[in-house]
Structure 1
């Protein structure tokens, strides 16, 4: 299985399940002898709740999400031609699409047992807007492999022109999924605990990796010490052997000379 397929599978999981599943995939790749793949898998970041919600859209509302991202290309063309009226129209369509998709993300998350708080919903909206301006982010959004929320800071290289277009009827931030304040607060608490537990698991894994590498370094140094000692002994033996050869050749020369003298 390629990295892209593994990433898509991992980012489809609940963030709380991500680290253990990722590490299991990395171990399997390492056991199969594919160390580069194992390393690439370990570098995948656990998604934030907002990123997970965006990834839900890629898997469950791909048509609507694709339409929004296609709108980003139209906005870019309008900017390049300075078509102000067209930009106003497209900007309104953008707001409508982003708001609708944000509500869809909240609904999908609720079906998965999570209530998205208002800050998380705002982060989802910001990420969708940012994807309209950044092709690389747009590809990650389409693929459902977003790891963290992104901020929208102007639309591509022509950001100031877009910012100058009137946006008087901008919609307010999307509301929290229906439910009382206690439900939302409880969900936020659970999300915070999940984030904490996941961070601790990641810390423990990193500590284990560092400890394991330290042991390997110590073993390698011990092996190097043994090899250097063996080298010293071998070098000493080589010197002794060379001296012995010189002596034997000298003795041979004397013996050959003695034989020649006797023959004469």
Structure 2
């Protein structure tokens, strides 16, 4: 059993099938004596619907996935080069491609028997934006093993960490009041983005806790199933042994009755033998007496003389 093969199998499954299949692979690895592999497989976490849909894109649309990765490289390079024209062109491609891929993800999940909501599809699209903006996120997504959606950043950073020169010049050209309003709006957006990020982290934590609980529940269910099976087997053994005991008792009773009948017959035959022996002795004694009687002797001599 290979860890990468098991991982690829698990993250291609719908989330509802993940835990049961993972537990089966853990048991198989333990049965094969590979406890280290079993623990590695056990450590795999079930993906959310959005993560699963994102993984499906990578696995079933490899050409589109490669196109997104290349677009991300080009966008990040354009940001570093402060190439406004290139950014404008690539940004249009970015919105079109992420929208199209998010819709394809919905189609793929529907074909797999699980329709996703608009909110989940939005999480998929935000994951795709994160792939475009962050090379690390792109690497995670390209493996097709996400467990939760990725958060899209507010924007791409410039090399110096400061606003691009073109944006800075437009800022300086605006009236002070408008600049203040823009700063306030940006501050509100940042605060909103931070709240949104905290909320997403809380959701991710809650989903992780839910997955852990579901895994514990599945493990407890398996343990209960094994215990009930062992109980059923024990009860069947008790039933079999009880039946065998009853049959043995019946055999014992029949043997006892047969032995009693045999003893009775033996006693009767013994009496009959003794009686027959007594009668034989009496007959022999009577015969001897007759043979010794004088009249019997003369008759015997006469018969001898006539002959």
TM-score by length of 2: 0.52
Deviation at 1:140, TM superposition (A): 3.0
**Which protein shows a greater Rg?**
2
CA contact (8 A) 2:19 2:218 kept: no
Deviation at 1:205, TM superposition (A): 5.2
CA contact (8 A) 2:53 2:109 kept: yes
CA shift in 2, pair 1:207/1:128, >3 Å? same
| Map of 1:91 onto structure 2 | 91
| Map of 1:172 onto structure 2 | none
| Map of 1:152 onto structure 2 | 152
| Map of 1:103 onto structure 2 | 103
CA shift in 2, pair 1:136/1:36, >3 Å? farther
| Map of 1:135 onto structure 2 | 135
1:101-137 C-alpha deviation (Å, 9 max, x unpaired):
0111111111122221111010000111112233333
- 1:36-75 alignment runs, 5 A limit: 36-75=36-75
Matched, 1:201 2:214: yes
| Map of 2:196 onto structure 1 | none
Counterpart-to-counterpart distance in 1, 2:145 and 2:70: 18
| Map of 1:3 onto structure 2 | 3
Counterpart-to-counterpart distance in 2, 1:136 and 1:52: 19
Deviation at 1:199, TM superposition (A): 5.7
TM-score by length of 1: 0.60
| Map of 1:31 onto structure 2 | 31
| Map of 1:116 onto structure 2 | 116
| Map of 1:250 onto structure 2 | none
CA shift in 2, pair 1:27/1:135, >3 Å? farther
Counterpart-to-counterpart distance in 2, 1:109 and 1:10: 15
Higher fraction of helix: 2
* Partner SS, residue 144 of structure 1: coil
Q: Higher relative contact order by CA 8 Å / sep ≥ 6: 1 or 2?
A: 1
CA contact (8 A) 1:109 1:116 kept: yes
CA RMSD of aligned residues (A): 2.9
